[in-house]
Amino acid sequence: MHSGSCHCGAVKFKVDAAFDSAITCNCSICDRKGTVLAFIPGNAFTLVSGDGALTD
């Protein structure tokens, strides 16, 4: 199980999946933090908090 959040921390989530591959994000925030991006199946994603902070 992995956990994560958006940049500001308002949205928190958990992922129950193996990461076969990950890529680096090229935005300045992710570049500074050294974060990576991975694609997972929707059924492996659980929103923990911050539903009200999400927008389209």
Question: The domain spanning residue 42 has which CATH number?
Answer: 2.170.150.70
In a domain, 7, yes or no: yes
In a domain, 55, yes or no: no
Phi, psi of 51 (to 5 degrees): -55, -40
SS (H, E, C) the chain: CEEEECCCCCCEEEECCCCCCCEECCCHHHHHHCCEECCCCHHHEEEEECHHHCCC
Per-residue confidence (pLDDT) for residue 25, from 0 to 100: 85
Residuewise pLDDT in 10s, the chain (56 residues): 889 898 889 999 999 998 888 898 888 988 888 888 889 999 999 999 999 999 88
Per-residue confidence (pLDDT) for residue 22, from 0 to 100: 87
In a domain, 6, yes or no: yes
State the residue range of the domain holding 37: 2-50
